[in-house]
């Protein structure tokens, strides 16, 4: 299937008769990237699936007002990031989980997850990542696994490139320390 550029998809979306078709194309183009972005944050597939749906629902509602001031994919990433962070925050609030318990729960989910195919080293790395504060975890995942540019990350997370570099540096050091000290 031919992959349209973002500007082509947005033009199609603004054509009332082809709106659904264009949105379907957008979903197909970005679903995997957004799914993995969310999944690495919430770990459990079912949660990631729900959040991905919510993310695209919001995109559907908001796309009419999208003026193209940012790229489509950074806009979608921002929605997905907010969904994941809100979900984790709500989960802690709902179950009165302190930060440590929340991390322990995510680690436990990871071990029991039938859709985790990593080896022991990868499990160790994921557990170390789960010990990071949420926003540092986000930065680490986006840079380490998705290899996203700092400039794009800065747009998505609404912060400066310098702050992101520092955050990633701290995250990598912590993970290294945790793995070596394990």
Partner 1 sequence: MEEKDNIKNLPGGMDRKNPFSVPEGYFDSFPAKLAERLQKEHSASVPLKSRLWETIRPQLALAAAITAFAVIGYLGFRSFMITDDQWLSDEMITGYIEYYHYEFSEPYLLGLLEEDDFYFEDYPADAGWAEIDDPDLYIDYLYQEEVDLYLIMTEF
Burial class (CB in 10 A: 0-12, 13-18, 19+), 5: exposed
Residue 2 corresponds to which tokens in the numbers above? 């031919």
Contact call for residue 40 and partner 1 (CB under 8 A): yes
Contact 4, 12 (CB under 8 A): yes
Contact call for residue 180 and partner 1 (CB under 8 A): yes
Length of the chain: 182
DSSP secondary structure, 69-86, as one string: SS-HHHHHHHHHHHHHHH
- 94 or 167: CB nearest partner 1: 167
Q: Which of 5, 11, 53, 160 binds partner 1 (CB under 8 A)?
A: 53
Interaction with partner 1 in 148-177: which residues (CB under 8 A)? 150, 165, 168-169, 172-173, 175-176
The interface region with partner 1, picked from 6-14, 28-36, 76-84, 96-104 by CB under 8 A, is: 28-36
Contact 164, 153 (CB under 8 A): yes
Residues lying near partner 1 in the complex (CB under 8 A): 20, 24, 27-28, 31-32, 35-36, 39-40, 45, 49, 52-53, 56-57, 60, 113, 115-119, 121-123, 125-126, 143-145, 147, 150, 165, 168-169, 172-173, 175-176, 179-180
């Amino acid at each position: 299937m031919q992959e349209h550029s973002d500007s082509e998809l947005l033009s199609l979306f603004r054509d009332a008769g082809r709106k659904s078709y264009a949105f379907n194309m957008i979903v197909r183009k970005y679903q995997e990237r957004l799914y993995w972005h969310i999944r690495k944050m919430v770990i459990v597939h079912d949660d990631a699936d729900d959040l991905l749906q919510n993310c695209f629902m919001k995109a559907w509602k908001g796309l009419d007002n999208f003026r193209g001031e940012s790229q489509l994919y950074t806009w979608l990433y921002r929605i997905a990031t907010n969904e994941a962070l809100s979900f984790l925050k709500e989960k802690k609030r709902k179950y009165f989980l302190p930060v440590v318990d929340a991390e322990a729960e995510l680690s436990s989910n990871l071990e029991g997850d039938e859709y985790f195919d990593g080896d022991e080293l990868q499990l160790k790395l994921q557990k170390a990542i789960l010990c990071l504060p949420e926003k540092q975890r986000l930065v680490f995942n986006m840079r380490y696994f998705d290899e996203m540019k700092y400039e794009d990350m800065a747009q998505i997370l609404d912060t400066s490139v310098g702050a992101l570099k520092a955050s990633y540096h701290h995250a990598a050091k912590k993970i290294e320390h945790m793995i070596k000290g394990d």
